[in-house]
Amino acid sequence: MSWRPFAPRPSVALVSSLQEIEHIHMATIQIPDTRLAKEAHDILREFSTDLLYNHSNRVFFFAAQQGRQRKITFDSELLYVSAAFHDLGLLSAYSSETERFEVDGANAVRQFLLAHDIPEEKAQTAWEAIALHTTPGVTQYMRAEVALLFTGVGLDVIGLGLDDFPADMRQEIVEAYPRTAFKDGINQAFFDGFAHKLGSTWGTVMAHVCERYAPGYKSPNLCDLIDNFTFPDTRQLERLA
């Protein structure tokens, strides 16, 4: 795969996105009014579908509100950039031949941030947030932006934490970024993003998508892999000798 270069864009290229997003806010949460956030927004808008564009923005607002509710200190700009890039690996412009789509998006955000002279530590945090955004049971022990991206995605895709989220704010977010045919659409978007590399989903929740949409596909079973591994066990007599 050949990555797109992420050189900083000239100021004139930011005008349209600034006009679009600068007044959008949910309660007191706003998309950060920074050059970095605007460029991330522009990339998302240029290369993404409407479904993934709206989803990614909802994820940011959900995640940011969850952080506020839990009184978690987080970097709003880094969280927005991570949300904007988290599904770019599903798109042909960013998809590799073999890597998990989450890793493709993570690699893209790292390149983007480092090209803008963002410190390596922050770039690594964004990389981890995107690489692990479909991995349950891990992110809650990591940096705030990593944990919040996972919960924001989880709320929008499968309703995790839905009952704890303010209903009026949720409605405002969905009105700004609609969930039009989202349930069917996101499943199809997932599959389309890695249909050329089904094996990359092994050991992840995305294997379920492959089993639904790829006729006859069955994800490798760990027990079968262990049973059929050609590395032989040590024989009992050899252990006693």
Residue 155 buriedness (CB in 10 A; 0-12 / 13-18 / 19+)? buried
Which two three-digit tokens encode residue 33? 């009014």
d(CA 176, CA 195): 31
Determine the pLDDT at residue 233: 87
Mean pLDDT of 36-41: 98
Task: State the pLDDT at residue 187.
Answer: 97
94 to 100, 127, 183, 228, 237: CA distances (angstroms): 11, 14, 23, 35, 54
Q: What is the pLDDT of residue 137?
A: 97
Whole-number mean pLDDT of the chain?
90
Mean pLDDT confidence for 132-139: 98
Tell me the C-alpha distance between 224 and 241, whole Å: 30
Specify the pLDDT at position 236: 60
Q: Which residues have CB under 8 Å from 64's CB, separation 6+?
A: 29, 74, 76, 79, 148, 152
Tell me what the mean pLDDT of segment 79-92 comes to.
Answer: 98
Angstrom CA distances, 229 to 202, 207, 225, stand at: 17, 21, 6
> Average pLDDT for residues 121-148, to the nearest whole number?
98
Find the angle CA(118)-CA(100)-CA(196) to the nearest 5 degrees: 130
Measured CA to CA, the distance from residue 112 to residue 36 in angstroms comes to 9
Q: What is the pLDDT of residue 230?
A: 87
Residue 179, CA distances (Å) to 151, 170, 208 in order: 17, 11, 22
- Provide, rounded to the nearest whole percent, the portion of the chain with pLDDT above 90: 83
pLDDT digits (tens, 9 = 90+) for 55-77: 999 999 999 999 999 999 999 99
Phi, psi of 30 (to 5 degrees): -130, 150
Average confidence (pLDDT) over 133-160: 98
Residue 207 clears pLDDT 90, i.e. is over it: yes
Residue of 27, 178, 151, 140 whose CA lies nearest to 82 = 151
